[in-house]
Structures are given as C-alpha cells and as structure tokens.
Structure 1
C-alpha cells in the first residue's frame, strides 16, 4: 500500500511490456533525470534511461510480484520482469528511494527530467539535443 504524504497526489500506474508486472506510484516524484551511464544503457537497450525518484513507501507492486527478477539485494537493486525482461524500477539510496523507469508508466507524470547525468560516459553515437543541464557524473546539491 502506498503511504500518503500528500493525500492530493494522483496515483499513477506502470507495467512491463508483457503486462505480467504492474505497479502504482504517487505522482509526487522528488526528481527526474536522464541517465547516460553504461549500466542504464545496457539495462534499457537505449541511449539513456529517463527515471523519476520517489520515496520507497510511495511505490507498490500491485500485480506479478512473483514475476520480478531482482538484480542486487534488498537495499539496492534493479527489478525486471522475469517474463519479458523490462526494467521497471531500481531501489537506490540505501533502500530509501525507488527510481521508476519512466518508459514503463502508463499514466503521464507531472514531473519531467531536469538534467542529463553521466554524460561523460554517454553513447558516442547519441547527441543530446535539448537545453537541459548536463553533468559529467551524478548531480550533486552543489552543482544543481
């Protein structure tokens, strides 16, 4: 069950490609970024991964928990659908936050990515063509 810090937050739905796994998340994301690191590129098969971060208790798998394939441990991991392979989310920041892969949302969130991170290791064949700030590694409070 999703904890409610803000009872007015809309609940968004997301799911994997084969629809075996479904989740709900509050539309109250703390941040959203486009990650260009090699791990995100490999897990998504794309030039970068747009993700949105939220407190873990604002996210809940509502269907197909037994179809999750977890890479990592309880504190930090990537969660894929074991049937179709879709990367759904990552548990990060000592288990306190979830990074939702924005491409798996079936509902549109109000947040949009605000920067590109790890552009120092971005795909050489991809050119970033928007005006969002770019960071060689991770965004820090001092840099943001």
Structure 2
C-alpha cells in the first residue's frame, strides 16, 4: 500500500495528502520560485497531479495562474503549497509544506542561471542552468 504524506500551510487552514511516490526532487532557483517563497530557492518534489488530494481548505486557496499552470497558496497565511506544471499533469509540491518526511531528496539545483547573486550553493548536487530535460525530470 502506498504511504500518504500529510502537508499543510503555515496557519493550518489548508491540508493536503500526497502519495510518497515522487518522481523527482530539485532545488529550483528561478526568479518566480524565489519571489513566491521569499527565499534563495524552492525545494520541490514532482508527482502526477492525481496523486495529491486536498483534504481541507478548498475555499481557502489563492491560485495565481490558470487551471493547468499555477502557484497554489493559502489565501489566509500566504503559504505556497504547490505549483501545477506541465500543462496540468504534474504538481511541484513545496517540500517545506510537508508535515511527514518524504523518501525522496533533491538531486539537483535547477535554474541556477537565474539564482540570487547573494546566495552560494555549497553542496555537491549537480547544477543546471535551466530545467532538466530528461523524461521524468524537474522540467517545468
């Protein structure tokens, strides 16, 4: 049986579950991820959209973008919960919103071509100037 992970926003108004079956995980340094998180990068874990279930707070969502490409926040506290990507087929879960620990870890830094100049990457993960392009990758 697939283990489900719990996730929620800062204030607790929005809760979700997601299968612990992530296909990829990366640290995204693109300017959009930096702006939505207020941080140097956003750790993301990618999974098929149908493997994430909103269990509380549907009416508390603030969605920036379209149905098949957006950033989904809590409209109460502003937490970025996940992004809908790849024409609506995948979800990039903001790993910081997971309550339970996923089995996956980020394996690369993406969009380092637009990373914050004040931040230095100090680990040994591969660095990609843009997105990964291999099948099942972190490409947006």
Q: Give the TM-score of the pair, scaled to structure 1.
A: 0.92
User: Structure 2 stretches of 5 or more lacking a match?
Assistant: none
For the residue of structure 2 that corresponds to 1:70, the secondary structure is strand
From 98, 101, 124, the equivalent of 1:131 is: 124
From 86, 89, 92, the equivalent of 1:93 is: 86
> Structure 1 CA distance, aligned partners of 2:89 and 2:50?
8
> Which residue is equivalent to 2:26?
33
Q: Which runs of 4+ in 1 moved over 6 A?
A: none
> Structure 2 CA distance, aligned partners of 1:9 and 1:32?
18
> Which residue is equivalent to 1:102?
95
User: Structure 1 stretches of 5 or more lacking a match?
Assistant: 1-7
> Structure 2 CA distance, aligned partners of 1:89 and 1:18?
16
> Structure 1 CA distance, aligned partners of 2:68 and 2:40?
27
Is 1:115 the counterpart of 2:108 in the alignment?
yes
Aligned pairs, number: 136
From 62, 67, 79, the equivalent of 1:74 is: 67
Query: What RMSD in Å do the two structures reach over aligned CA positions?
Result: 1.1
